[in-house]
Chain A
């Protein structure tokens, strides 16, 4: 059974197309990852699925209800964790949760039980009476998630929920989401952190420029990349853009990506081309600090599909 099913979902801002006829579905109990760089259209997609903005064209069915004609029914069945920390800093965590719970339509003992439950899930019960402004970034993110869980939703939508948090809090958040999913919660997770999506998601859609450019399970996507290796050269001095032309003359090179002090080369024969690329760098006066050959991952896939990295 599909919890989410999009039908040519499209959003234009003026003449600019933010989301271009995307189609995907999310099965019940699945963690679905929407991966893509900033500006790919992830937040716009999530905003449409959350009934925050109306699509220009197309529709989506969530928990059996159309986001166009039955938005109130959709809102009752989903929990949304926005990218912003949408909390009131001068209210305590508990006051925030009570207010948002009331907005879902819960009152009295039911509300109290729900607040206690979500505080336990995010492990912040002992800090419930502290003002949000006194919380660390990671703690704020956890309360942000707790609000999304208040209504015991059938679908939890998270839009980049780990932006700006420390590694420990990130692990805590990801493990919390894994636990929730193991209890049957369906999750739509957007991120530009490839590792998070790889860690959490069973099904992944990769977005770029408003379109889904790849879709499938992690294994299916890895097959798309094939056996391509990613060779990463870290250098002491800066790499100039014109070196790209010289390296691309090597027949086996598939894609090249240049950063200030590193170079990424995608190829089927990593070990074969390694000496040739190293020689070109040496001839150009670029001193190599280290070389790493990485196995195919989502980052490699994205590079392979778009010629750019997720963090660009």
Chain B
């Protein structure tokens, strides 16, 4: 057993002095995490779209109040619409030109009265040409609102005319009744309204791109690191050091186990360094469950070491491990959710990704990071990773032994 540890430690020492390996398995993932985290942050942020919007409300009547208070300031929309009120249209135009606001809304004087009395009127939207997506969102919201107002206006018109015709109400009471009906509708709406509740609970953390890619790229590069370790088996056979180990009083199983332990140590060291560096320098949160994190790290490292042994058992040389291994690492990275968010996957890809170790590792880490999960929450993920580990090692070792017997 002692010799197994010594062989593993020797391999770790050799890799730690290999500048190419340092770039490949540590520097590259750190750069990728930084770049992807920075570039894609707006797609992941919990406040992805802060639309700076200015309003000039010259109406100040009940329809414009509904638009502002119940729509634009609603709980959902206020998360990404930042409203500012201005006094006149010219000031609004100047501000838009300066790029201060993505969109400006001008509600004309007597807008409510005009709509209620069936006259034509419009809400003006001023858009910053450099922020068309954001101003487009505002336009969509207002379109929906105007359509709703029109529907109600038509319904009101038909209803009031019918009621007057049938002498159920009087013309002079109509204005008072309209306000009353509007309030009634709002009351009913508040009773049957839809409320968006985050299924993860109020305490969950929004997805941060840097955190996402620290996990995604970190997991993807586990296989790169493991492959780098596996290459050393072929390298040692080519250079004769493996044969020299075989003529020492060391059991054949101990030599192979030592090499596997070296792969595990290398992969573990790489992942721990990525976790520490991203935590200190990139401010990545790795969750609040220390033991959960340890379990996920060890089960992921074991799984990818095993997968690397399995891959190597199918190959004939270190260059094959390098080239084919890297390609497979990239494919697993793409399919397993390392490169883009799993929640954007179509159903078929989502199903396929569940056959990759990347997916289970990433999901487990996300439980800890974004859902404040505990050890209990990641048990399914770590169990599947350990199961995969057993399968990969068993197949890999069997093939390696068969090859040894055949002298390949």
Instruction: Give A contacts to B, CB under 8 Å.
Output: 13, 50-53, 72, 75-76, 78, 80, 82-88, 90-91, 95, 99-100, 102-105, 147
A45 shortest CB reach to chain B, Å: 14
| B17 sits at the interface (CB 8 A) | yes
In the bound assembly, the distance between CA atoms of A51 and B240 in angstroms comes to: 15
Q: Can you report 16 A-B residue pairs in the complex whose CB atoms are below 8 A from each other?
A: A13-B407, A72-B249, A75-B248, A76-B249, A78-B247, A80-B247, A82-B240, A85-B239, A85-B240, A86-B239, A86-B241, A87-B241, A95-B13, A103-B249, A104-B248, A104-B249
The interface bits of chain B over 1-24 (1 if a CB of A lies within 8 angstroms of the residue's CB, else 0) are: 001001100100110011000000
Residues of B within 8 A of A91 (CB): 10, 13-14, 17
Please determine whether B6 and A102 come into contact, CB atoms closer than 8 angstroms.
Answer: yes
| B323 sits at the interface (CB 8 A) | no
Contacts A99-B6, A102-B6, A105-B249 given; does A86 touch B244 at CB 8 Å: yes
Please determine whether A90 and B240 come into contact, CB atoms closer than 8 angstroms.
Answer: no
Residues of A within 8 A of B407 (CB): 13, 53
| B245 sits at the interface (CB 8 A) | yes
Residues of B within 8 A of A102 (CB): 3, 6
Residues of A within 8 A of B132 (CB): none
Please determine whether B246 and A52 come into contact, CB atoms closer than 8 angstroms.
Answer: yes
B306 shortest CB reach to chain A, Å: 25
B8 shortest CB reach to chain A, Å: 12
Which of the residues A52, A95, A100, A105 comes within 8 Å of B243, measured between beta carbons?
A: A52
Residues of B within 8 A of A72 (CB): 249, 251
In the bound assembly, the distance between CA atoms of A260 and B7 in angstroms comes to: 50
Please determine whether B6 and A84 come into contact, CB atoms closer than 8 angstroms.
Answer: no
List 17 additional contacts besides A53-B407, A86-B240; criterion CB under 8 Å.
Answer: A13-B407, A50-B247, A51-B246, A52-B243, A72-B251, A75-B248, A82-B240, A82-B243, A85-B240, A86-B241, A87-B241, A90-B18, A102-B6, A103-B6, A103-B245, A103-B249, A103-B250
B388 shortest CB reach to chain A, Å: 32
Residues of B within 8 A of A103 (CB): 3, 6-7, 245, 248-250
* Total contacts A-B at CB 8 Å: 61
Residues of A within 8 A of B244 (CB): 80, 82, 86, 100, 147
Indicate the size class of the contact surface on chain B: 20 to 34
Residues of A within 8 A of B6 (CB): 99, 102-103
Beta-carbon nearest neighbor of A51 in chain B: B247
In the bound assembly, the distance between CA atoms of A72 and B251 in angstroms comes to: 8
Residues of A within 8 A of B14 (CB): 88, 90-91
Instruction: Give B contacts to A, CB under 8 Å.
Output: 3, 6-7, 10, 13-14, 17-18, 239-241, 243-251, 407
Beta-carbon nearest neighbor of A75 in chain B: B249
Interface residue SS majority, chain B: helix
In the bound assembly, the distance between CA atoms of A25 and B13 in angstroms comes to: 42
Beta-carbon nearest neighbor of A46 in chain B: B247
Residues of B within 8 A of A85 (CB): 239-240
A145 shortest CB reach to chain B, Å: 13
B233 shortest CB reach to chain A, Å: 14
B359 shortest CB reach to chain A, Å: 36
Residues of A within 8 A of B250 (CB): 103
Please determine whether B248 and A100 come into contact, CB atoms closer than 8 angstroms.
Answer: yes
A130 shortest CB reach to chain B, Å: 14
Residues of A within 8 A of B18 (CB): 90
Residues of B within 8 A of A99 (CB): 6, 10
Residues of A within 8 A of B3 (CB): 102-103
Beta-carbon nearest neighbor of A13 in chain B: B407
Beta-carbon nearest neighbor of A50 in chain B: B247
In the bound assembly, the distance between CA atoms of A53 and B243 in angstroms comes to: 10
In the bound assembly, the distance between CA atoms of A35 and B407 in angstroms comes to: 26
The 9 closest A-B pairs by CB, nearest first: A84-B240, A86-B240, A86-B244, A103-B248, A75-B249, A50-B247, A90-B17, A86-B241, A76-B249
A148 shortest CB reach to chain B, Å: 9
Residues of B within 8 A of A51 (CB): 246-247
B181 shortest CB reach to chain A, Å: 85
In the bound assembly, the distance between CA atoms of A50 and B247 in angstroms comes to: 6
In the bound assembly, the distance between CA atoms of A13 and B13 in angstroms comes to: 37
In the bound assembly, the distance between CA atoms of A86 and B235 in angstroms comes to: 11
Residues of B within 8 A of A105 (CB): 249
B236 shortest CB reach to chain A, Å: 9
In the bound assembly, the distance between CA atoms of A83 and B243 in angstroms comes to: 11
B240 shortest CB reach to chain A, Å: 3
Beta-carbon nearest neighbor of A90 in chain B: B17
Beta-carbon nearest neighbor of B13 in chain A: A91
B204 shortest CB reach to chain A, Å: 47
Residues of A within 8 A of B249 (CB): 72, 75-76, 103-105
In the bound assembly, the distance between CA atoms of A105 and B254 in angstroms comes to: 13
In the bound assembly, the distance between CA atoms of A105 and B251 in angstroms comes to: 12
Beta-carbon nearest neighbor of A95 in chain B: B13
A68 shortest CB reach to chain B, Å: 15
A164 shortest CB reach to chain B, Å: 14
In the bound assembly, the distance between CA atoms of A103 and B14 in angstroms comes to: 17
B356 shortest CB reach to chain A, Å: 34
In the bound assembly, the distance between CA atoms of A57 and B306 in angstroms comes to: 37
In the bound assembly, the distance between CA atoms of A33 and B301 in angstroms comes to: 50
B399 shortest CB reach to chain A, Å: 20
A233 shortest CB reach to chain B, Å: 41
| Most A Cβ at <10 Å: residue of B7, B10, B14 | B10
Beta-carbon nearest neighbor of B244 in chain A: A86
Residues of B within 8 A of A90 (CB): 14, 17-18
In the bound assembly, the distance between CA atoms of A13 and B406 in angstroms comes to: 10
In the bound assembly, the distance between CA atoms of A95 and B248 in angstroms comes to: 17
Residues of B within 8 A of A52 (CB): 243, 246-247
Which of the residues A83, A86, A88, A104 comes within 8 Å of B10, measured between beta carbons?
A: A88
B117 shortest CB reach to chain A, Å: 88
B390 shortest CB reach to chain A, Å: 29
Residues of B within 8 A of A80 (CB): 244, 247
Which of the residues A53, A76, A84, A100 comes within 8 Å of B239, measured between beta carbons?
A: A84
A109 shortest CB reach to chain B, Å: 17
B244 shortest CB reach to chain A, Å: 4
B17 shortest CB reach to chain A, Å: 4
Residues of A within 8 A of B245 (CB): 103
| Most A Cβ at <10 Å: residue of B6, B239, B244, B251 | B244
